[in-house]
Structure 1
Amino acid sequence: MKDNTIIVGLDIGTTKITTVIGEVAAGGSVDIIGEGTVPSEGMKRGSVVNLERATHAIKQSVQAAERVSGVKVESVYVSVAGNHAKAITSHGLAAIRRNQEIAQPDVDRAIENARAVPLDPNLEIIHTLPQEYVVDGQEGIKNPVGMHGVRLEVDVHIVAGTAGPLLNLRRCVQEAGLRVEGFALHALASGLATLEAAEQAQTVVVVDMGGGTTDMAVFKRGNLAHSACIPLGGEHVTADLAQILKIPMEEAENVKRRYGAALPELADQDLTLEITTSSGSTHAITAFELSRIIKPRLAEIFGLIRDEIDHTLGPVELVAQNVILTGGAALLRGAPELARDRFRLPVRVGRPRGIGGLTDIVSGPGHAGSVGLVLYGIGEDGKVPHLVYGDMAPAVTAPSTPDVPVVPAPTPEPVAATPDKPKDKVGPSLADRVRGWFKDWM
């Protein structure tokens, strides 16, 4: 762990770029001393599409954080998102000489054997994250060093990114006058910032709902066990509203934030909005009808995440204990309730915890990724530093803020469904039907 140092996380997203400056004191506490958020430019679905504009936005974000902290930023940990990031789990094996203790070189050898899996030459490895070790058939070992055995095995979660997008990200950061200290998967960073102490012993699904993408990570006993990216996010909900209501994206985003809900029954039943279209005509729409536009796209996102987990790890109800929603889009009213219906698990909104300093600024779910990059930089091992827990209670309870309830799991009946039960399909046809609902008044 790094002490008495400055660690900077640079979260480069589709809709915003956030820089968070953290200071690790000698006693192990982490204080956030600087933050800068600006609208993103030159990015699309986690990849750079305009080098000059992306570089300019990065400079603005870093300069804003520097002004708050009074610290000159030289190097940063950068988030990696988008569907160009690939993840696999590989098995490694190392033989141990009889009557000898397992030493660190033996562990390194097992991990290196797991890394020897053939990969596309166009991929660059970002993370090599060991899961639990197995010694002579004994599972669940966190650290085998010092143990006796003749056969050491390990499963390693390997995350790799396409070389082109990573080179473009690195170039933008370097053009902004910064050094890339390391890359970190966005979903991993979000999990590091939001996992509670008791969840370190469970299997938890972290869903980071960004603007252009939704990143998903499955943490098993504190280790990243699976990750994926869905190329849909909050911006697509905004685009649906803009298309159906015939209004600019900026206005659609404002309407979504102020009056939208993921479930129509949670919308303000007495609220009617006057919408002025791009052509100048005016129409009335209720908050209930507005939510009927929003729900299909969010249900589609959650459905795709569920399908990814079901097909890779098994039925999500049997694999995980709960779901954490984070990212800016997680603040949409009714999102946890809709997620609960799709995953059939308890759901809560995840916020950064275990930090000091500017907690009032970085306490929202939209800062989970950037704060998580700082925590990742402390150890660079892909695990939550124990120092961030402090004296937190070990029980999984609702966060202290009253506006973030834990949404309990639904009644047991649906959970008992067998894996081959047909799933609800939410896709373009549903979006077309939604458009049809409002065709008459547009």
Structure 2
Amino acid sequence: MKDNPIIVGLDIGTTKITTVIGELAEGGGVDIIGEGTVHSEGMKRGSVVNLERATHAIRQSIAAAERVSGVQVDSVYVTVAGNHAKAITSHGLAAIRRNQEINVSDVDRAIENARAVPLDPNLEIIHTLPQEYVVDGQEGIKSPVGMHGVRLEVDVHIVAGTAGPLLNLRRCVQEAGVQVEGFVLHALASGLATLEAAEQSQTVIVVDMGGGTTDIGVFKRGNLAHSASIPIGGEHVTADLAQILKIPMEEAENVKRKYGAAIPELADQDLTLEITTASGSTHAISAFELSRIIKPRLSEIFSLIRDEIDHTLGPVELVAQGVVLTGGAALLRGTSDLARDRFRLPVRLGRPRGIGGLTDIVHGPTHAASVGLVLYGIGEDGKVPHIVFQDEPLSAPQVDLPAPLPATPPAPAPATSAPKKEGVSLVDRLRNAFKDWM
């Protein structure tokens, strides 16, 4: 636990930069006392592409949060997008002298041995996250200190970032007038803010759908056990609309948010839009057809997530008990329904919880990562602080139920649909087996 009661999170994304200032309350809770969100500049897919513009936007975001809170920010925790981060799981071992209790130094020795893996010299370790421990073959141990045994083992999830992008991020933050307290993987921060108490005993997939990337975190009994990133996000959906409708990106973003849906059947069937192209010509498009442009790109994102988990951990239906969607792109109508169809698992929209203060401002999925940075700063061990769960029942999490689809005649498949593969794979058989689950 930090001695300083003020913790600041700085979420630097492709489309927005958000600063959240948190304070440890006297009763042990966490109050959000400051927030500042500005349009992101100089960033692309989590990496700095223009130092001066990125620094300016970061300075604006921090200043906005300082004005709200009345607190001067000296240091911040900063998100790192997974597109330039590498993650591996390493095994560590420590021998314990007979008739001796396992102590903290023994645990540190096992973790340090797990860290002693050859890494590319261009990588900088961001996180060393212990999973569960094993003492003399007994698995599932969360804290081995005080136990007896002669063999202590631990699996450690190691996250390392490419040194160049991390140096550029650090330089931008420092030139904005503050120091970097630490870097935090984006998926880890989002999970810390959105996972509920009941999910701490399950395996849950957290999908943070940002503007330039979609970050994935697989949490097993509250520990980040796997992480990855897809270089596609909500901005690509906007780009598809801008390209096909021949309109500017800003207008395409507004059209997407106001009238778009991830599933065409959920769009307003009676709505027709008048679109004015950049050349000045006007044409009409229905909300249904608009959503038919949106769906293939979101389907691609979820398919890539499935492929990543299927190939790394096994069929997603057997690996996890649920999916939590968060991030700005997850707010599009019907996104949870489309994800439920692709993953064949319960899906819910993840929002920050367990906090007080400016909850009306930071309650949405867009603030998951920035609030998660504050929670990380409180615990500094990669786990949700227990104070966040103090008033939360250990019951099954609420799942977003699929919205009823209006009766419409089947529409022809979009031209961009990929041809189906011949044969039936293991994953396809599992998907068929889970069709009746809903």
- What corresponds to 1:227 in structure 2? 227
CA deviation profile, 1:337-382 (whole Å, cap 9, x unmatched) = 0000111100000000000000000000000000000000001110
Q: Percent identity?
A: 85
- What corresponds to 1:160 in structure 2? 160
Query: Closer, same or farther in 2 for the Cα pair 1:158/1:166, shift >3 Å?
Result: same
TM-score normalised to the size of structure 2? 0.92
CA deviation profile, 1:383-426 (whole Å, cap 9, x unmatched) = 01110112112112328xxxxx3459xxxxxxxx96354899xx
Separation in 2 of the partners of 1:54 and 1:396? 41
How far apart are 1:82 and its partner, in Å?
3.9
- What corresponds to 1:385 in structure 2? 385
- What corresponds to 1:83 in structure 2? 83
- Tell me the SS of whatever aligns to 1:323: strand
- What corresponds to 2:7 in structure 1? 7
- What corresponds to 1:213 in structure 2? 213
- Tell me the SS of whatever aligns to 1:83: helix
- What corresponds to 2:43 in structure 1? 43
Query: Is 1:96–2:103 an aligned residue pair?
Result: no
- What corresponds to 1:287 in structure 2? 287
- What corresponds to 2:426 in structure 1? 419
Quick check: 2:315–2:427 contact (8 Å CA) kept in 1? no
Query: Closer, same or farther in 2 for the Cα pair 1:195/1:172, shift >3 Å?
Result: same
Amino acid at match of 2:174: Q
Quick check: 1:210–1:234 contact (8 Å CA) kept in 2? yes
Quick check: 1:20–1:36 contact (8 Å CA) kept in 2? yes
How far apart are 1:23 and its partner, in Å?
0.3
Amino acid at match of 2:293: I
| Aligned pairs for 1:335-414 within 5 A | 335-398=335-398, 405-407=400-402
Query: What RMSD in Å do the two structures reach over aligned CA positions?
Result: 1.4
- What corresponds to 2:203 in structure 1? 203
Quick check: 1:87–1:157 contact (8 Å CA) kept in 2? yes
| Aligned pairs for 1:52-71 within 5 A | 52-71=52-71
| Aligned pairs for 1:156-305 within 5 A | 156-305=156-305
Quick check: 1:4–1:25 contact (8 Å CA) kept in 2? no
How far apart are 1:244 and its partner, in Å?
0.3
Quick check: 2:192–2:375 contact (8 Å CA) kept in 1? yes
Q: How many residues align?
A: 411
- Tell me the SS of whatever aligns to 2:98: coil
Quick check: 2:196–2:397 contact (8 Å CA) kept in 1? no
Q: Which segment drifts farther, 389-398 or 275-284?
A: 389-398
Separation in 2 of the partners of 1:420 and 1:250? 39
- What corresponds to 2:407 in structure 1? none
| Aligned pairs for 1:310-321 within 5 A | 310-321=310-321
- What corresponds to 2:72 in structure 1? 72
- What corresponds to 1:429 in structure 2? none
Quick check: 1:309–1:315 contact (8 Å CA) kept in 2? yes
CA deviation profile, 1:162-194 (whole Å, cap 9, x unmatched) = 000000000000000101000100100000000
TM-score normalised to the size of structure 1? 0.91
Separation in 1 of the partners of 2:63 and 2:299? 38
Quick check: 2:82–2:185 contact (8 Å CA) kept in 1? no
- What corresponds to 1:435 in structure 2? none
- Which sections of structure 1, spanning at least 5 residues, go unmatched? 400-404, 409-416, 425-442
Separation in 2 of the partners of 1:420 and 1:292? 26
- What corresponds to 1:413 in structure 2? none
How far apart are 1:44 and its partner, in Å?
0.1
Separation in 2 of the partners of 1:159 and 1:297? 28
Separation in 2 of the partners of 1:342 and 1:206? 15
Quick check: 1:346–1:407 contact (8 Å CA) kept in 2? no
Amino acid at match of 1:42: G
Quick check: 1:95–1:150 contact (8 Å CA) kept in 2? yes
CA deviation profile, 1:195-220 (whole Å, cap 9, x unmatched) = 00000000000000000000000000
- Which sections of structure 2, spanning at least 5 residues, go unmatched? 404-423, 432-438
**Superposed structure 1 runs of 4+ greater than 4 Å apart:** none
Amino acid at match of 1:368: A
- Tell me the SS of whatever aligns to 2:426: coil
Quick check: 1:273–1:287 contact (8 Å CA) kept in 2? yes
Separation in 2 of the partners of 1:210 and 1:189? 13
- What corresponds to 2:123 in structure 1? 123
